[in-house]
Chain A
Amino acid sequence: RKEVEQDPGPFNVPEGATVAFNCTYSNSASQSFFWYRQDCRKEPKLLMSVYSSGNEDGRFTAQLNRASQYISLLIRDSKLSDSATYLCVVNNYQLIWGAGTKLIIKP
């Protein structure tokens, strides 16, 4: 089993819809969690950190479920510009990366 697992997608979603995807991790001692966004042929960039109480940044909401060992990302009112690959990252005193979930927003 991989340490960090994501559904590779692609998720094809109409513009304006809400989309959510999860990421599961195997190490229950993981310290912190992040969502990164990677555009095609570009470097990954931090989208948001994931706090145990959950956090929201505009249309994006991230949540952590330690009991079930997953984190989630919810995108509301999706835009064409949200099309990207979303990478889940788990910090176990080193960063462990998921393979990413590809999201395609269609007009």
Chain B
Amino acid sequence: DAGVIQSPRHEVTEMGQEVTLRCKLISGHNSLFWYRQTMMRGLELLIYFNNNVPIDDSGMPEDRFSAKMPNASFSTLKIQPSEPRDSAVYFCASSLGRGLPNTEAFFGQGTRLTVV
């Protein structure tokens, strides 16, 4: 298995533009997590899905952020319009089972977003 695959790896965009980040889960996994990491705030959970259903989106910063899971193996995180403070590394992770004991999360390599 190729693991969790994220694209693009790097994105530089101008303020106000729409940004779409993509994530392909590990086959057979049914939980999907989007995280954001910055030096100031560390690793923050934005949203997580279980069986394609959003379970907790309380970490989504504001209405400019939206996440979808159109099928069991793929997810997108969209920022519209983007702002410089959105600059961060965005990680997608998948796991087998929602919160089962000893459930390990496997991370993609991240998308480094810079909004100028």
Binding site for B on A (CB under 8 A): 31-32, 34, 41-46, 49, 87, 89, 91-95, 97-100
Contacts and interface: CB of A to CB of B under 8 A. Distances in A.
B56 interface: yes
Interface string B88-116: 01010000001101111111111000000
30 contacts: A32-B101, A32-B102, A34-B104, A42-B109, A42-B110, A43-B91, A43-B107, A43-B108, A44-B43, A44-B91, A44-B107, A45-B107, A46-B104, A46-B105, A46-B106, A49-B104, A87-B43, A91-B99, A91-B102, A91-B103, A92-B99, A93-B99, A94-B45, A94-B56, A94-B99, A95-B103, A97-B45, A99-B42, A100-B42, A100-B43
Nearest to A44: B107
Interface of B: 33, 35, 42-43, 45, 48, 55-56, 89, 91, 98-99, 101-110
B101 A94 contact: no
Contacts of B55: 94
B56 A97 contact: no
